[in-house]
Amino acid sequence: MSITQVTASAAAPKVHHVTLTGRATRPTEPIPQFLIDGAKVETKQAFNAKKHLNYEPPSKITTMKEIGLEGQGISPNVVTAPFQLFTEAAIKQMRAEIFSQPVLDNCHYMSEFVKSTIRGMGSARAPFVCDAWNSPEVLAIVSEVAGIELIPAMDYEIAAINISVNNQTVSAYSAPKQDDDSLPAFAWHRDSYPFVCVTMLSDCVGMTGGETALKTSSGEILKVRGPAMGTAVVMQGRYIEHQALKAYGGRERISMVTSFRPRSPLVRDESVLTGVRPISNLSELYSQYTRYRLEVIEERVWKFAQRPFDIKDVKTFLTEQKEYIESMIEEIVE
């Protein structure tokens, strides 16, 4: 695996993000019954990499250098072309957990940013999904295409399911106008976490649009083809402005977004909670966020303690950890 490591002390550009306010809100519209009924499976299975993975490397990996942002972020890679990741059998198991009643009762949210999303399912309600994203095989794949060794940001971020259903009282396909190809499903933004893996859980036959638009350093727009069912796109979304463009056609569009952070505690961590706070159970989110950040500090301390003592180095290290803790305090909003 080709890995580029950026230390915690490396200078980083200021990263802006979308400002969202408010507390988590339950959606006003329930999940359509046809999605719930169609997601049921006769037998629930445990995740098995040999059975449920169908990996094919991406045909293209766009680099930060190609879009004029070389040296920014934590990896030279910015986004992959869609690549095959999960089998149809795996997608069926995931959908069965996502649309189960315990998940719908406890994990369904909305915000000004997304109309319908499912988050924080946890291993008790979604063991297949959690085991898949924590498996060594999937982590190796995601890390390989990302160009840096990654792990899930925290359990709560396995995973966010964005759900869009066409109005069944009108035609399922409504072609966009010629000048309408840039209409966004989401506004321009940067993600809360360094990397995301977006996996398509819907059959995209007959669907057009749905690309991800990236903004280069010159302001030009680069479009990345939308994924098909079972395929995924890995993107360094914390350090690049992007938006999801609207998709047309098809009865549903369901995508799974799993967020990742660097495995090494020595790689800088600029994760924020701005984008996820309004669509989360804050008790769970803050608890897991605090725990993982303190664990990062603990690992940094142990590694630093093995170095020869130097007053200047110690002061620099302590200042960096102080700034890291202060950034945590800013994210934990009452």
The chain-wide mean pLDDT, for the chain, equals 87
Q: Is residue 56 a part of any domain in this protein?
A: yes
Please, which residues bridge with residue 198 across strands? Answer: 233, 257
In terms of domains, do 53 and 138 share one? yes
Query: Cα–Cα distance between 267 and 284 in angstroms, integer?
Result: 25
Query: Cα–Cα distance between 52 and 181 in angstroms, integer?
Result: 35
SS (H, E, C) 59-80: CCEEECHHHCCCCCCCCCEEEE
In terms of domains, do 251 and 286 share one? no
Backbone dihedral region for residue 209 (phi beyond 0: left; psi -120 to 50: alpha; all else: beta) = left
In terms of domains, do 293 and 226 share one? no
Mean pLDDT of 140-154: 98
Structure tokens at 281: 């159970």
Q: Is residue 270 a part of any domain in this protein?
A: no
pLDDT for 164 beyond 60: yes
Q: Is residue 45 a part of any domain in this protein?
A: yes
What is the end-to-end Cα distance of the chain in Å, rounded? Answer: 41
- Measure Cα distances from 11 to 298, 324, 331 in Å: 22, 14, 21
Judged by average pLDDT, the poorest of 25-39, 257-271, 307-321 is 25-39
In terms of domains, do 316 and 170 share one? no
Q: Is residue 8 very low, low, confident or very high in pLDDT (cuts 50, 70, 90)?
A: very low
Contact 226, 204 (CB under 8 A): yes
Q: Is residue 203 a part of any domain in this protein?
A: yes
In terms of domains, do 251 and 196 share one? yes
Domain range enclosing 109:
33-265
Q: Is residue 172 very low, low, confident or very high in pLDDT (cuts 50, 70, 90)?
A: very low
Residue 245 confidence (pLDDT)? 81
Q: Is residue 2 a part of any domain in this protein?
A: no
Q: What is the pLDDT of residues 211-228, one digit of tens each?
A: 888 898 888 898 887 778
Residue 212 confidence (pLDDT)? 83
In terms of domains, do 287 and 254 share one? no
Judged by average pLDDT, the poorest of 11-15, 27-31, 33-37, 307-311 is 11-15
Residue 1 confidence (pLDDT)? 38
Q: Is residue 176 very low, low, confident or very high in pLDDT (cuts 50, 70, 90)?
A: very low
In terms of domains, do 88 and 160 share one? yes
Q: What is the pLDDT of residues 245-288, one digit of tens each?
A: 877 877 888 999 999 999 999 999 999 999 899 899 999 999 99
In terms of domains, do 245 and 286 share one? no
* Overall domain count for the chain: 2
pLDDT for 185 beyond 60: no
Burial zone of 202 (CB within 10 Å; 0-12 exposed, 13-18 middle, 19+ buried) = buried
Sign of the alpha-carbon dihedral angle for 142, 146, 151, 155: negative
10: nearest Cα among 103, 84, 77, 73:
73
pLDDT for 298 beyond 90: yes
66: nearest Cα among 53, 81, 51, 54:
81
Structure tokens at 58: 């991406």
Give the residue with greater pLDDT, 29 vs 267: 267
Residue 240 confidence (pLDDT)? 92
Sign of the alpha-carbon dihedral angle for 271, 276, 277, 283: negative
In terms of domains, do 166 and 73 share one? yes
What is the β-pairing status of strands 252-262 and 195-200? antiparallel
76: nearest Cα among 137, 12, 138, 148:
148
Length of the chain: 334
For 51, the 3-state DSSP assignment is helix
In terms of domains, do 225 and 307 share one? no
Distance of CA 289 to the CA centre of its chain: 15
For 253, the 3-state DSSP assignment is strand
Q: Is residue 161 a part of any domain in this protein?
A: yes
Q: Is residue 6 a part of any domain in this protein?
A: no
Structure tokens at 79: 């986004």
pLDDT for 72 beyond 60: yes
Mean pLDDT of 138-150: 98
Q: Is residue 164 a part of any domain in this protein?
A: yes
Give the residue with greater pLDDT, 147 vs 220: 147
Query: Cα–Cα distance between 308 and 179 in angstroms, integer?
Result: 62
In terms of domains, do 235 and 291 share one? no
- Measure Cα distances from 316 to 10, 43, 268, 311 in Å: 12, 56, 15, 9
Listed residues 231, 265, 299: the one ending a domain = 265
Residue 97 confidence (pLDDT)? 98
In terms of domains, do 184 and 327 share one? no
Find the CATH number of the domain harbouring 203: 2.60.120
Q: Is residue 289 very low, low, confident or very high in pLDDT (cuts 50, 70, 90)?
A: very high
